[in-house]
Structure 1
Amino acid sequence: MAKRVTKLQQLASAGPAVRSGRATATLCQEFLDYLRGECHLAANTISAYGNDMRRFVAWVDTRRLPDLTIQDLSGYVGTLQEEDLAPASISRNIVAVRTFYKFLQLEGVVTDNPAELIMTQKMWQRMPGVLTMRQVESFLNSPKRSDKFWQRDVAMLEVLYATGCRASEVCNLRVRDLSMAQKHLRCEGKGGKQRMVPLGGRAIASIKRYLEELRGDLAAKSPHPPEELFLSRSGRAIDRVQLWRLVKAYAKRVGIDEKISPHSLRHSFATHLLAGGADLRLVQEMLGHASIQTTQIYTHVEHSRLKKVHSQFHPRA
Structure 2
Amino acid sequence: MEYLQIEKNASPYTVKYYLNDLETFNQFLMVEGIENLADVDYRLIRVFLTSLYDKKLSRRTVSRLISSMRSFYRFLEREDKVSSNPFLQVTLPKTTKPIPGFMYQEELGKLFEVNDMSDPLGQRNQALLETFYATGIRVSECQSLTLQDIDFTIGTMLIHGKGRKERYVPFGRFAEIALETYMNEGRNVLLKKSNVATNAVFLNAKGTPLTVRGMRLILTKMVEKASLTIHVHPHKLRHTFATHMLNEGADLRSVQELLGHESLSSTQIYTHVTKDHLKNVYMKAHPRANN
TM range (shorter): 0.5 to 0.7
Tell me the distance in 1 between the aligned counterparts of 2:273 and 2:230: 22
2:221 aligned residue? 249
Tell me the distance in 1 between the aligned counterparts of 2:227 and 2:270: 25
Tell me the distance in 1 between the aligned counterparts of 2:139 and 2:228: 19
Tell me the distance in 2 between the aligned counterparts of 1:174 and 1:310: 44
The SS at the match of 1:234 is: coil
2:195 aligned residue? 223
1:127 aligned residue? 99
Contact 2:120 2:186 in 1 (8 A): no
Which runs of structure 2 are paired with 1:167-316 in the superposition (5 Å)? 167-303=139-275, 305-306=277-278
Q: Report the Cα offset of residue 301 of structure 1.
A: 2.4
Q: Report the Cα offset of residue 310 of structure 1.
A: 8.2
The SS at the match of 2:257 is: helix
Q: Report the Cα offset of residue 309 of structure 1.
A: 7.2
Give the direction of change, closer, same or farther, for the CA distance of 1:242–1:162 in structure 2 (3 Å limit): same
RMSD: 2.6
Tell me the distance in 1 between the aligned counterparts of 2:114 and 2:282: 30
| 2:114 pairs with 1:142 | yes
Q: Report the Cα offset of residue 191 of structure 1.
A: 1.1
Give the direction of change, closer, same or farther, for the CA distance of 1:194–1:250 in structure 2 (3 Å limit): same
Q: Report the Cα offset of residue 144 of structure 1.
A: 2.5
Per-residue displacement from partner, 1:69-101 (whole Å, max 9, x unpaired)?
A: xxxxxxxxxxxxxxxxxxxxxxxxxxxxxxxxx
Tell me the distance in 2 between the aligned counterparts of 1:148 and 1:209: 9
Contact 2:143 2:212 in 1 (8 A): yes
Q: Report the Cα offset of residue 133 of structure 1.
A: 1.4
Give the direction of change, closer, same or farther, for the CA distance of 1:248–1:287 in structure 2 (3 Å limit): same
Per-residue displacement from partner, 1:218-267 (whole Å, max 9, x unpaired)?
A: 12222231110011111111001111011011112223334221111000
Greater RCO structure (CA 8 Å; 6+ sep): 1
Identity of aligned residues (%): 36
Amino acid at match of 1:141: E
The SS at the match of 1:306 is: helix
